[in-house]
């Protein structure tokens, strides 16, 4: 699998490069849009939840950023990957190439924007939060990689299913909106009533958010349970996604 | 020269035609309870029991009326469709030219489009670097190569698309009626290039309604009708045969079927 992706690495690179170029070409602010969006989103949440709802936490801005940036990546990547097969019908019907490159390119496109946003905002967050850099913070790279695989698994699964069931697009959109509010991103997990806390943590998005917050906001190693939940979800979703995608690949060209 | 590069063995291809397409989950669930909402599937056999060997270095023409299965046959070789029954075996690198300008994007310039298109054919950046000058030369786009594709005329777009695919050094080249759009000069240039590739011992399979070209260029031809190969042989004989069939209208064809 990875060998074929390697052979077609210039295709993957060109697809990502094309999307990046097309996104920014001809716009005045260009690449700044990738930073402005999370920044403004953040500002609104900050006003709403710090000053209106009055969540009291130290460095709430840092907490918010640390959960929100990875979520934005996940949401954007899943939404665009879901339509990556149906949206490229003209290619699939006319030339044979590894179809996985399409959802993979969608996910990587959003991942690059996440890395960009992180590399710009992180120094500020460290400054605002008065956070000393420690070895544990390097764990975020591992977490990012696992998050990438997890997202890719979902992307493979949904992009393949969308070919047969057009409703998946709407379900995904709605599902992501709902998921956001049951994921501890704008509120910390300990604000959730104790008896529901376990249930909330089973949601893989929550486990990822908690892990990001532990590492980057608190500077701690995430608790073992969270790590296990993340690994189980990632391995099983990637496996399932890849299997379903491979199973459906031969009929893509006939159904779209 | 006897090496066989394409082998079809009793190949049939069916497409599922849905009479009342059910592609929403709601209707699928309703179908469990009420047969009115269930899909009615029908098979359409686009290719029936195809046996065909293509040898290395052949220039094969496929002729036949619209809907006879020529393009489906080509797509089977390109690996875009999978066989329903029987097998297809391919030996060598296939370059399909089913449409010109595969992967081109209106907002990218000529150079960027070449890189994107060749990578769809599996070329790395380095491999494209080696042939890009040849491609640009052949396309005769000149200064326009730095312009986004939306500023191209249809002819320029076609020229760039053809130049990109033809310079990929194919072992098996598939061409589906893509020459119809170019002007006389460019058509001649493309035909010349195809001949050149053929002389190098590569295999070309050409689908065309331009019977003159088939007669002039192909070493062998197959006549397809309703998903079957009903005649094959030397290109000029097949073309003659096909013309006679068309002249006798459907009568001749119905006899053939029996």
What is the structure's pLDDT at B255? 47
Q: Which of B243, B240, B223 is nearest to B61 (CA)?
A: B223
Q: What is the rounded average pLDDT for all residues in chain B? A: 88
The nearest CA of chain B is from the CA of A79 a distance in Å of 18
- The pair phi, psi for residue B8, each rounded to 5°, is -100, 125
- Kindly report the average pLDDT of chain A as a whole number: 92
DSSP state of B151: G
Tens digit of each residue's pLDDT (9 = 90 or more) over A160-191? 999 998 899 999 999 999 999 999 999 999 99
According to DSSP, the β-strands at B94-97 and B172-176 are parallel
User: Residue B59 and residue B169: Cα distance in Å, rounded?
Assistant: 16
Q: Looking at A55-69, A188-202, A235-249, B174-188, which range is the least confident one?
A: B174-188
Judged by a CB distance cut-off of 8 A, whether residue A174 touches chain B is: no
The reported pLDDT for the residue numbered B22 is 66
Q: How many Cβ contacts (< 8 angstroms) between chains A and B?
A: 74
Nearest to A232 by CA among A200, A199, A198, A207: A207
Contact status of A58 with chain B (Cβ, < 8 Å):
no
How, if at all, do strands B220-225 and B203-207 pair?
Answer: unpaired
In what helix (H) or strand (E) does residue B231 lie, and over which residues does it extend?
Answer: strand B228-233
Q: Whose CA is closest to A94, among B55, B145, B177, B148?
A: B177
* Structural element, H or E, at residue A44: helix A33-46
Out of A14, A164, A253, closest to residue B115 by CB: A14
pLDDT tens digits, residue range B12-58?
Answer: 999 988 766 666 677 777 777 777 777 777 889 999 999 999 999 99
Q: Smallest CA–CA separation between B249 and chain A, in Å?
A: 32
pLDDT (0 to 100) of residue B23: 66
CB B210, CB B194: distance < 8 Å: no
pLDDT surpassing 60 at residue A47? yes
Cβ atoms A45, A71 nearer than 8 A: no
Tally: H helices and E strands in chain B: 9, 9
Query: B195 to chain A, minimum CA–CA distance in Å?
Result: 23
Q: Is the pLDDT of residue A135 over 90?
A: no
Average pLDDT over residues A28-40: 83
Q: What is the pLDDT of residues A198-215, one digit of tens each?
A: 999 999 999 999 999 999
Give the pLDDT confidence of B63-108 residue by residue, as tens digits: 999 889 999 999 999 999 999 999 999 999 999 999 899 999 999 9
The C-alpha atoms of residue A193 and residue A180 are separated, in whole angstroms, by 18
Q: For chain A, what percent of residues have pLDDT higher than 70?
A: 100
Contact check, Cβ <8 Å, A96/B121: no
**pTM: predicted TM-score of the whole model, two decimal places:** 0.90
Under an 8 A CB cutoff, do B116 and A253 touch? no
Choose the mutation target among B103, B106, B112 for the interface with A, i.e. most A CBs under 10 Å.
B103
Contact A150, A238 (CB under 8 A): yes
B78 closest CB neighbour out of A7, A21, A95:
A95
The DSSP call for residue A18 is: H
Mean pLDDT computed over A120-149: 88
* Residue B163 pLDDT grade (very low, low, confident, very high; cuts 50, 70, 90): very high
Q: Which residues contact A126 (CB under 8 A, 6 or more apart)?
A: A133
Helix (H) or strand (E) holding A202: helix A194-202
The ipTM is 0.88
- Of A44-53, A104-113, A141-150, the poorest mean pLDDT is in A44-53
Which among A9, A14, A166 has the least Cβ separation from residue B116? A14
Inform me whether the C-beta atom of residue A254 falls under 8 Å from chain B C-beta atoms. Answer: yes
Cβ burial of B218 (10 Å; 0-12, 13-18, 19+) is buried
Q: How high is the pLDDT of residue B256? A: 47
Beta-bridged to residue B257, according to DSSP, are none
Total residue length of chain A: 256
Three-state SS at B49: strand
For residue B96, the chain A residues in CB contact (below 8 A) are: 94-96
Contact criterion met (CB below 8 Å) for B43 and A216: no
Task: Give the H or E element holding residue B90.
Answer: strand B85-90
Contact B15 A18 (CB under 8 A): no
pLDDT computed for residue B258 by the predictor: 35
Alpha-carbon distance B180 to A163, whole Å?
32
**Chain A contacts of B121, Cβ < 8 Å?**
95, 97
**Given this model, what pLDDT does residue A107 score?**
97
Residue A247 touches partner B, C-beta closer than 8 Å: no
Phi-psi region of B169 (alpha: psi -120 to 50; beta: other; left: phi over 0): left
Contact between B96 and A94 using a beta-carbon 8 Å cutoff: yes
Could you say which residues from 75 to 94 on chain A have a Cβ atom under 8 Å away from some Cβ of chain B? 90-94
Per-residue pLDDT reduced to its tens digit, B118-138:
999 999 999 999 999 999 999
pLDDT digits (tens, 9 = 90+) for A51-99: 898 888 888 989 999 999 999 999 999 999 999 999 999 999 999 999 9
């Amino acid at each position: 699998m990875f060998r074929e992706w390697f052979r077609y690495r210039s295709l993957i690179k060109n697809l990502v490069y094309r999307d990046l170029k097309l996104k920014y070409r001809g716009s005045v602010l260009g690449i700044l849009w990738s930073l402005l969006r999370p920044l403004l989103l953040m500002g609104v949440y900050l006003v709403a939840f710090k000053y209106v709802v009055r969540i009291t936490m130290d460095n709430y801005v840092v907490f918010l950023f640390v959960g929100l940036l990875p979520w934005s990546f996940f949401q954007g990547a899943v939404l665009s990957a879901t339509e990556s097969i149906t949206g490229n019908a003209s290619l699939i019907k006319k030339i044979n190439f590894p179809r996985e490159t399409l959802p993979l390119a969608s996910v990587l496109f959003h991942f690059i924007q996440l890395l960009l946003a992180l590399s710009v905002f992180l120094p500020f967050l460290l400054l605002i939060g008065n956070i000393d850099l420690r070895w544990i913070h390097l764990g975020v790279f591992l977490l990012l990689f696992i998050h990438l695989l997890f997202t890719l698994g979902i992307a493979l699964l949904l992009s393949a299913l969308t070919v047969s069931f057009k409703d998946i697009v709407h379900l995904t959109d709605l599902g992501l909106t709902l998921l956001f509010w049951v994921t501890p991103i704008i509120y910390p997990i300990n604000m959730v009533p104790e008896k529901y806390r376990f249930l909330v943590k089973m949601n893989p998005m929550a486990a990822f958010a908690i892990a990001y917050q532990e590492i980057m906001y608190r500077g701690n190693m995430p608790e073992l349970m969270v790590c296990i939940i993340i690994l189980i979800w990632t391995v099983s979703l990637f496996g399932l996604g890849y299997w379903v995608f491979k199973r459906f690949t031969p009929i893509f060209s006939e159904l779209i | 020269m006897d090496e066989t590069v394409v082998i079809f063995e009793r190949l049939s291809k069916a497409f599922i035609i849905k009479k009342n397409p059910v592609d929403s989950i709601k209707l699928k669930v309703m179908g469990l309870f009420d047969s009115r909402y269930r899909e009615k599937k029908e098979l359409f056999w686009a290719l029936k029991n195809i046996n065909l060997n293509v040898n290395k270095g052949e220039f094969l023409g496929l002729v036949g009326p619209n809907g006879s299965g020529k393009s489906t046959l080509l797509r089977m070789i390109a690996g875009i469709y999978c066989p329903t029954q029987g097998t297809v075996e391919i030996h060598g690198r296939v370059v399909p030219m089913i449409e010109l300008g595969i992967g081109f994007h209106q907002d990218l310039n000529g150079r960027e489009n070449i890189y994107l298109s060749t990578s769809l054919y599996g070329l790395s950046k380095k491999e494209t670097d080696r042939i890009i000058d040849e491609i640009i030369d052949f396309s005769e786009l000149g200064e326009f190569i730095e312009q986004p594709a939306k500023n191209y005329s249809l002819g320029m777009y076609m020229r760039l698309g053809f130049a990109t695919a033809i310079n990929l050094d194919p072992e098996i080249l598939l061409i589906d009626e893509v020459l119809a759009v170019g002007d006389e000069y460019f058509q001649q240039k493309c035909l010349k290039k195809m001949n050149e590739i053929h002389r190098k011992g590569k295999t070309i399979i050409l689908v065309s309604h331009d019977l003159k070209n088939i007669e002039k260029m192909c070493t062998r031809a197959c006549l397809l009708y309703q998903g079957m190969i009903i005649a094959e042989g030397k290109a000029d004989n097949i073309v003659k045969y096909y013309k006679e069939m068309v002249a006798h209208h459907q009568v001749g064809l119905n006899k053939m079927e029996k």
